[in-house]
Amino acid sequence: MAVRSIASLTISFGLVSIPVKLYSATEASRAISFNLLHKTCGSRLRQQYFCVKEEVQVGREDMAKGYEFAKDQYVMFSPEELKALEEAGTHTAEITEFVPAKTIDPVYFDKAYYLGPDKGGAKPYALLARALKESGRCALGRWAARGKQYIVMIRPMDDGLVEGLVMQQLLYSGEVRSIKDVDIPKTDVKDAELKLAQQLIEQQSSAAFDPSAYTDQVRARIEAAVQKKVEGQEITMAEAPQEGAQVIDLMEALRASLEKKPAKKAETPKAASKKTAKK
């Protein structure tokens, strides 16, 4: 089923402008959420705000936003002042540079959008997608929306049937912690251990990532439990799995892992349908 675009914008670099449509690449609506209820009668609860100084309930019309610059000290901003500080939304993603795609660590990746060509943009869209793919580079630029300014990466995507573009929001450097902040002791790795580890990796390797091979088991359990509740059934809680003994001998653990038969991967829907067709 075709997805609906959520916005239109223009990708610009140099004197080239490409009109595109923006599509959400993910489905946040698929997340399961629960509401807070009154335990005794099952009614929805309404959130209320109380002033910690006067101990009175405060309505939304009497609320203001403030920034805590010191302990329990705030500067207050009016809605008009906050609006004036927002970045004016643009309908343009302005490319500032092209960099090798492999130089951007995925830790900087934020929300992703698919880009599709808008009216009159099919030719330059296809040209940019192919040029990025063959150069091994991606485009970096800026995009303003919802009062904020974002760094965006525009990269090619090829699923074997369609060559397209993905616009990935990136986090700013101040939003990403350095791995240097993590306490990682320097440890020697023996050649024999490394060889066994590499063999184990090779044994469990696949040609490519297949997202359909992984399912959200927690979501499935929650959905099943919700359905049982709706039907008035009792829910039996599964016992927590027992923790295995701590492995001390690394070499022995690696050897045992290599001897263990790899778990059979779940069949993809496509593969399953082919088997059924043959029968």
Residue type for 234, please?
E
Provide the strand spans (E) within the chain.
Answer: 7-13, 16-24, 49-50, 57-58, 65-70, 73-77, 92-100, 109-117, 137-145, 148-158, 163-170
In a domain, 245, yes or no: no
Confidence of residue 276 (pLDDT cuts 50, 70, 90): very low
pLDDT for residue 250 is more than 60: yes
Residues in a beta bridge with 68: 74
Which CATH number characterizes residue 148's domain?
2.40.290.10
CB neighbours of 88 closer than 8 A, spacing ≥ 6?
Answer: 144
pLDDT for residue 272 is more than 90: no
Phi-psi domain of 136 (left: phi exceeds 0; alpha: psi -120 through 50; beta: other):
left
* Residue 81: strand, helix, or coil: helix
Q: How much is the average pLDDT of 140-149?
A: 88
Residue 210: the pLDDT is: 85
CB 109 within 8 A of CB 172: no
Read off the pTM: 0.70
Q: From the CB of residue 193, how many other CB atoms can be counted at a distance below 10 Å?
A: 13
In a domain, 109, yes or no: yes
In a domain, 37, yes or no: no
In a domain, 138, yes or no: yes
pLDDT digits (tens, 9 = 90+) for 43-91: 888 888 999 888 899 988 898 899 999 998 999 998 888 888 877 767 8
Number of structural domains in the chain: 1
In a domain, 66, yes or no: no
In a domain, 117, yes or no: yes
In a domain, 64, yes or no: no
Is the Cα torsion angle 215, 218, 222, 227 positive or negative in sign? positive
Instruction: Give the range of the structural domain holding residue 148, as residue numbers without chain letter.
Output: 7-23+87-175
Q: What is the percentage of the chain residues whose pLDDT exceeds 90?
A: 37
pLDDT digits (tens, 9 = 90+) for 87-124: 776 788 889 999 999 999 999 999 999 999 999 899 99
Is the Cα torsion angle 97, 98, 103, 104 positive or negative in sign? positive
In a domain, 12, yes or no: yes
Phi-psi domain of 168 (left: phi exceeds 0; alpha: psi -120 through 50; beta: other):
beta
